[in-house]
Amino acid sequence: MTLLVGIDCATDPRKVGLARAELADSAVVIRECLAGSRSNKPVDIVSGWLASADSAVIALDAPLGWPEPLAPALSGHLAGQPVGPAPNTLFRRFTDDEMYRRLEKRPLDVGADRIARTAVAALTLLDAIRGRVGLPIPLAWQPAEDCSLRAIEVYPAATRLGHGAPDKGGSLVGLDKVLRFSPAPSAELSRDAIDAAVCALAAADFLRGDAIPPDDLQLAEREGWIWAPAGRPTMASSGRRER
């Protein structure tokens, strides 16, 4: 059975939500759900879970890449000179635009917002987990791949909307048919822990083939891709980034 690990990423380990889950029929069962701490570090918790798993998908709620035009636009830039690309092209990824087209929900711009610090923290955590378990953990691009440990980028707001649930962080409203806890939590869960459980649900959506793949894999491999269900379409997708 494939282990599902949800990580609600943050720069402070006390704000990192963590969930260990598995698929049971049509539902995702959360076996453990908590937030990290300075003494109980997220890397220790996750690597401990992975130690006994034959296979796992780690779903991280953080951008795992930056917009393709950003690096070349800044590499030769001199102070005081204009920057060529328009701000939306420079700071938004194709997957961010797709979230808005499909679900009318736009993630924070990783090229312009403080979420960039969370992105760096997430990538650092993922690399630390690789070092701890001694195995590669590549990003996954399709449900069936020949690799025991894989990671994907997810966005709890998109997962909630994709399942017809309200877009409310730290909430399980509307997810009772697809997400349950066993055993029941011994204490009230933090917002971060709850969002980690939704990340685990997103990992299950990916494994079941219910999450929409990128139509431009090469671009997604450079920028990252948010795996989420289609939801109810609200805007037509252009299929390509507007330049």
Element (H, E) at 201: helix 191-207
Q: How far apart are the first and last CA of the chain?
A: 43
Q: For the residues 136-141, what does the mean pLDDT come to?
A: 98
The stretch 126-151 carries a mean pLDDT of 97
For the chain, the maximum distance between any two Cα atoms, rounded to a whole number of angstroms, is: 59
Q: How far apart are CA 126 and CA 21, in angstroms?
A: 18
φ and ψ at residue 24, rounded to 5 degrees: -135, 105
Is 102's pLDDT higher than 80?
A: yes
Q: How confident is the model at residue 76 (pLDDT cuts 50, 70, 90)?
A: confident
Q: Residue 132's pLDDT band (boundaries 50, 70, 90)?
A: very high
pLDDT at position 186: 78
The residues that bridge with 17 in the sheet, in sequence order, are 8, 35
pLDDT class for 233, splitting at 50, 70, 90?
very low
Do residues 45 and 6 touch, judged by C-beta distance below 8 A?
no
pLDDT category of residue 1 using cuts at 50, 70 and 90: confident
The pLDDT, as a whole number, for residue 236 is: 36
Residue with tokens 């997430």: 122
Q: How many helices (H) and strands (E) does the chain have?
A: 8, 6
The strand ranges marked E within the chain are 3-8, 17-24, 27-35, 56-61, 149-153, 179-181
- Report the C-alpha gap between 235 and 105 in whole angstroms: 11
Q: What is the mean pLDDT of the chain?
A: 92
Q: Directed axis angle between helix 42-51 and helix 115-133, to 10°? A: 40
Decide if pLDDT at 13 tops 50: yes
Confidence band, pLDDT 50/70/90 cuts, at residue 238: very low
Question: Could you tell me the domains of the chain?
Answer: 3-65+112-223 (3.30.420)
Predicted local distance difference test score (pLDDT) of residue 50: 98
Q: Sorting pLDDT into bands at 50, 70 and 90, what band is 232?
A: low
- Evaluate whether 106 touches 157 at the Cβ level (below 8 Å): no
pLDDT of 156 reads: 98
Tokens of 205: 């959506």
pLDDT, mean of residues 141-145: 95
pLDDT at 25: 81
pLDDT at 9: 98
Tell me the C-alpha to C-alpha distance, in Å, between residue 187 and each of 20, 21, 32.
16, 18, 12
Q: Residue 147: its pLDDT value, please? A: 94
pLDDT at 223: 98
Using the predicted structure, report yes or no on whether residue 139 has a pLDDT greater than 70: yes
Output DSSP code: residue 173.
T
- How far apart are alpha carbons 7 and 200 in whole angstroms? 8
Report the pLDDT averaged over residues 44-69.
97
Q: What is the pLDDT of residue 234?
A: 37
| Dist. CA 126–CA 214, nearest whole Å | 22
What are the DSSP calls for 81-112, one per residue?
SPPSS-HHHHH--HHHHHHHHHHS-----TTT
Calpha distance 198→178 (Å, rounded): 10
Per-residue pLDDT, averaged over 185-190, amounts to 88
